[in-house]
Amino acid sequence: MRKPSQIPVVQRFGRRIGHLSKNFFGGVLDVLVPTPENTPPEALVEVRSVLVVRPNFRIGNTLISTPLVTALQRRFPQARIDWLSGDTTASLLSHLPLGRVWTISRRFILRPWQFVALFYRLRRERYDVAVEAGMGSFSGGLYTWLTGARHRLGCAGKGDRFLDVRVAPISVEHVYDSPVAFAHRLGVECEDHPLYIVSAEEAASAEKVLAGAGLDGRRFVAVFVGGHQDKRWPAPQWLELARRLSDIDDIAIAVFLGPEELHFAERMRDGLAGRAAVLPPQPLRIFAALWSKATLIVTPDSGPMHLAAALEVPTIAVLLSDSSWIYRPRTADDLTLLRPSVEDVADAVRARLAVLADDRGVRAPA
């Protein structure tokens, strides 16, 4: 895990203030905001505007919630669907059938007047329904209540006092089933995987990046070496895996670095000596467009793992803990390896490429 000194000061300060605020406001709200009588979801009628409240700063958590867009469209077909997101993940929602995407920032801790101004504007929108998309989150419930929406809808849990339309808590074996279960409580269906749309302009930009890396027109395996340190291998193992994969014929290898992996970028390039392309961190939308063009993705438990699921690119997930299992990719083209060796992953890549080539009538790599 990252040491406290490695976490940005604003982020550490924000987390500390957040924990203290929850404890303090929890006690105050017990007195000031009693839990309202519950209204059944079917009583929600004449809904013209809906706000999804999911102000999260993690790629995975935002993507996991995206099927709610189509669920709410089906439940409220005449309504405009807006979203309240974390500022670092708002771009993931581009091109989805949403109206306006509002953003909240960790920097609001240092600029509280901006926080107040945001919710003042949200209240002026007079939303008919605000949906707490954290599935029982206290902070999500609080933000939902602060919007001033006519109805506040969500799962029963820590934020009950903020919601007047509470559905039964959700317990699932896979995290992608949470939006599905929530949709069922509203009487509709939704997709069982994250949603993401790559625009034509983003695809063209990705082609230029691939051409600059010598990958234009080539089939390639994308290997992501980022993510939380307690959820991924150290650099030497990724380097050894890339070396082994570079020996496979008829397929190129592209190593993708996250922002926190720049310190071993040179080591990767030197260690691979031109045997694989090493791509520096990209803007999030371009990163996604690049991955949409991969033949196969290899990734630890990370936000980009969920991005691969949204893009429906065959994926091999390299998981290091049992707790990651509920987040695994799970289509027929995906494979999950729990605490594997480098050799295990290299063998799995070879086998998966052979299956994909056979399915698509492409000559399997040697």
pLDDT value, residue 228: 75
- Give pLDDT tens digits along the chain (366 positions): 444 455 566 666 666 666 666 666 666 666 677 889 999 999 999 999 999 999 999 999 999 999 999 999 999 999 999 999 999 999 999 999 999 999 999 999 899 999 999 999 999 999 999 999 999 999 999 999 999 999 999 999 988 999 999 999 999 999 999 999 999 999 999 999 999 999 999 999 999 999 999 998 899 999 999 877 778 888 899 999 999 999 999 999 999 988 877 777 888 888 898 899 999 889 999 999 999 999 999 999 999 999 999 999 999 999 999 999 999 999 999 999 999 999 999 999 999 999 987 765 443 333
> Domain holding 150: CATH number?
3.40.50.2000
Does residue 259 share a domain with residue 164?
no
pLDDT value, residue 259: 80
Does residue 204 share a domain with residue 342?
yes
pLDDT value, residue 4: 46
Of 153, 185, 217, the last residue of a domain is: 185
pLDDT value, residue 34: 86
Does residue 281 share a domain with residue 157?
no
Of 154, 185, 216, the last residue of a domain is: 185
Q: Is 309 inside any structural domain? A: yes
Does residue 225 share a domain with residue 164?
no
In SS3 terms, the chain reads as CCCHHHCCHHHHHHHHHHHHHHHHHHHHHHHHCCCCCCCCHHHCCCCCEEEEEECCCCHHHHHHHCCHHHHHHHHCCCCEEEEEEECCCHHHHCCCCCCCEEEECHHHHCCHHHHHHHHHHHHHHCCCEEEECCCCCHHHHHHHHHCCCCEEEEECCCCHHHCCEEECCCCCCCCCHHHHHHHHHCCCCCCCCCCCCCCHHHHHHHHHHHHHCCCCCCCEEEEECCCCHHHCCCHHHHHHHHHHHCCCCCCEEEEECCHHHHHHHHHHHHHHCCCCEEECCCCHHHHHHHHCCCCEEEEECCHHHHHHHHHCCCEEEEECCHHHHHHCCCCCCCEEEECCCHHHHHHHHHHHHHHHHHHCCCCCCC
Does residue 158 share a domain with residue 40?
yes
Does residue 48 share a domain with residue 161?
yes
Q: Is 4 inside any structural domain? A: no
Q: Is 28 inside any structural domain? A: no
Of 161, 185, 209, the last residue of a domain is: 185
Does residue 248 share a domain with residue 338?
yes
pLDDT value, residue 26: 63
Does residue 222 share a domain with residue 181?
no
Does residue 345 share a domain with residue 208?
yes
The total of structural domains in the chain comes to 2
Q: Is 23 inside any structural domain? A: no
Structural domain boundaries, residue 126: 33-185
pTM: 0.87
Q: Is 190 inside any structural domain? A: no
pLDDT value, residue 107: 92
Q: Is 7 inside any structural domain? A: no
Does residue 346 share a domain with residue 216?
yes
Q: Is 295 inside any structural domain? A: yes
pLDDT value, residue 235: 86
Q: Is 8 inside any structural domain? A: no
pLDDT value, residue 25: 64
Does residue 237 share a domain with residue 269?
yes
Does residue 204 share a domain with residue 162?
no
